[in-house]
């Protein structure tokens, strides 16, 4: 029984090359959603081609809900994050997680729309002293259930970050950032083919990847852009002020390593 979880963000989707395409207030946003649906369907197809029995797709951009469910491959199930869970259906019965359309962590050179959780607030995040971005946080969440991240898609910088963190992971590189706000993309059909083939290869060998499991209980630290942002977080239970812009929290479980 091979169950695969696909978590999609938007910044790393193939063909998305301008920040307006991921902003819900922009007229270009609907094109971004359309491109995202194509990538999700390519990943679902790759998973089933490789013998997956069940696929759950979830989208995380802006809290989720960008998927046009009528356009999604009907073989997969769909859910959004919620209830304090990043990947709600994920449990020990899954064979692998695909982080689709993701972006590099905050502060990455030539990472398209690089950020970690909040472009406006989060400057630097560490878990047990190791700097990481969203793919690290999500992989640790999956690691809590013993499930490995088997494939990622996004720009070159995202792939480099994934290899540095996870060691062995299949990477679909679909774009190259030119600074933070622009990207050079593969043609759409080529991007979809790369995603499908990468996911297929990863799912075929899903049992050969290692889950990402930082030590737990874990210590997380967050440096905000301004001290007033840390003022707010420092008022919360179990949050300790380290300096003007940095707060720290100990978490018992890797599934909570993103909750302040
Ligand atoms: Zn996003």
Q: What is the pLDDT of residues 22-53, one digit of tens each?
A: 999 999 999 999 999 999 999 999 999 999 99
Mean pLDDT of all residues belonging to the chain: 97
- Contact between 112 and 175 under an 8 Å Cβ cutoff? The reply is yes
- Contact between 169 and 17 under an 8 Å Cβ cutoff? The reply is no
Q: Distance between CA atoms of 256 and 27, rounded to whole angstroms? A: 35
Q: What is the pLDDT at residue 252?
A: 96
Q: Distance between CA atoms of 11 and 154, rounded to whole angstroms? A: 8
pLDDT in tens, 209-257: 999 999 999 999 999 999 999 999 999 999 999 999 999 999 999 999 9
| DSSP helix/strand/coil, 16 | coil
Cα 117 to averaged position of ligand 1 atoms, centre (Å): 8
pLDDT in tens, 77-122: 999 999 989 999 999 999 999 999 999 999 999 999 999 999 999 9
Per-residue confidence at 55, pLDDT binned at 50, 70, 90? very high
Q: What is the pLDDT at residue 195?
A: 98
Cα 1 to averaged position of ligand 1 atoms, centre (Å): 31
Cα 59 to averaged position of ligand 1 atoms, centre (Å): 9
Cα 226 to averaged position of ligand 1 atoms, centre (Å): 22
Cα 9 to averaged position of ligand 1 atoms, centre (Å): 5
Sorted by where each starts, the structural domains of the chain and their CATH numbers stand as 3-214 (3.40.50.10780)
Q: Distance between CA atoms of 183 and 58, rounded to whole angstroms? A: 25
């Amino acid at each position: 029984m091979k169950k695969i979880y696909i978590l999609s963000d938007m910044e790393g989707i193939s063909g998305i090359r301008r920040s307006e395409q991921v902003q819900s207030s922009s007229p270009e946003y609907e094109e971004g959603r359309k491109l995202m649906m194509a990538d999700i369907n390519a990943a679902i197809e790759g998973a089933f081609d490789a013998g997956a029995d069940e696929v759950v797709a979830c989208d995380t951009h802006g809290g989720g809900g960008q998927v046009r469910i009528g356009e999604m491959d009907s073989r997969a199930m769909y859910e959004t994050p919620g209830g304090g869970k990043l990947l709600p259906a994920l449990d020990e019965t899954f064979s692998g997680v695909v982080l689709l359309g993701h972006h590099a962590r905050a502060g990455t050179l030539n990472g398209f729309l690089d950020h970690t959780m909040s472009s406006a607030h989060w400057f630097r995040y560490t878990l047990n002293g190791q700097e990481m971005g969203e793919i690290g946080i999500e992989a640790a969440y999956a690691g809590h259930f013993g499930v490995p991240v088997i494939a990622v898609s996004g720009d070159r910088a995202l792939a480099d970050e994934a290899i540095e963190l996870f060691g062995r992971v299949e990477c679909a590189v679909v774009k190259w950032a030119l600074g933070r706000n622009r990207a050079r993309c593969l043609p759409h059909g080529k991007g979809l083919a790369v995603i499908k083939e990468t996911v297929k290869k990863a799912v075929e060998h899903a049992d050969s990847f290692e889950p990402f499991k930082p030590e737990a209980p874990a210590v997380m630290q967050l440096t905000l852009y301004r001290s007033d942002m840390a003022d707010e977080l420092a008022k919360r239970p179990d949050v300790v002020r380290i300096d003007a812009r940095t707060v720290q929290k100990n978490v018992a479980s890797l599934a909570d390593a993103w909750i302040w």
